[in-house]
Amino acid sequence: FDAMVDRADDRDRLPAPVILEVLLEALGPIWRDRLSLGGVDLGDCWKHPAIRRDDATDGLVPIHKLSQWLSYSLVEPLQTAGVEVTDLDGLTGLAEYRNGGLFMDLGVLTLKDPADAAKPWPAADPLVVGWRAMTVALLDKIAPLVRAELGVTAEAMPLASVLEGGTWAAGRRAAAERRPGGGPPLTILSDGTVF
């Protein structure tokens, strides 16, 4: 907490992406078996063959679902402590099974081979990385549509509100209608540091 408060400006404002930055720096050691770049453990960051760059980040897709979820969770306690958290939309949507499942369950995203839904997939597999990356991209498209429909601004309804009040609930409902127990549309093999 102190590490975040220390990063606030002289008017006690703290951009939400700085919360994420502090968490990624602090939690780095739990990801030692993952990708690294320049000696920095990258965490929930994976390679995908469709991502092409002419530098050391070639192929990298940073997702950081748990770290971003924790960042969102720290906003209210920081605000209660007198820190004004700004730039909430500087964090991304969460690439997790409720949001990603919503897009699959409603047919926005489909598998090339429907039989793939029955297989367990490693988190690093391009199928999973692509699904999660598309989930983040689609959440960025949904948020302005929801705001326009409701006639509100991004400040009045940041992405976090769209997630909490909309896509998570819709994802749970869609999953419950399609699978006993309402589980995700894909089985992801995870060590607990991804989902």
Please give the Cα distance from 31 to 67 (Å, whole number).
12
| Residue 184 domain-assigned (yes or no) | yes
| Residue 67 domain-assigned (yes or no) | yes
Structure tokens at 105: 């369950």
| Residue 7 domain-assigned (yes or no) | yes
Model pLDDT, residue 29: 85
Residue 115 pLDDT > 90:
yes
Residue 194 pLDDT > 80:
no
Distance of CA 36 to the CA centre of its chain: 19
Q: pLDDT of 167-190, one tens digit each? A: 999 999 999 999 999 999 999 998
Taking the whole predicted model, whether its pTM rises above 0.75 is answered as yes
| Residue 162 domain-assigned (yes or no) | yes
Q: What is the overall mean pLDDT for the chain?
A: 94
| Residue 158 domain-assigned (yes or no) | yes
Determine what percent of the chain falls in helix, strand and coil, rounding each to the nearest 5. 50, 10, 35
Please give the Cα distance from 109 to 137 (Å, whole number).
12
- If one counts the domains in the chain, the total is 1
Residue type, 164: E
Q: pLDDT of 55-98, one tens digit each? A: 999 999 999 999 999 999 999 999 999 999 999 999 999 999 99
Residue where the block lists tokens 């102190």? 2
Model pLDDT, residue 174: 97
Q: pLDDT of 9-31, one tens digit each? A: 888 999 999 999 999 999 888 88
| Residue 194 domain-assigned (yes or no) | no
Q: What is the DSSP letter of 49?
A: T
| Lowest-confidence region among 14-18, 39-43, 150-154 | 39-43
Residue type, 39: G
Residue 193 pLDDT > 80:
no
| Residue 195 domain-assigned (yes or no) | no
Structure tokens at 170: 């819709």
Model pLDDT, residue 14: 96
Model pLDDT, residue 89: 92
Model pLDDT, residue 126: 98
| Residue 113 domain-assigned (yes or no) | yes
- Domain hosting residue 69, numbered range: 2-189
Q: Which of 95, 108, 107, 102 is nearest to 188 (CA)?
A: 95
As a whole number of Å, the CA-based R_g of the chain is: 18
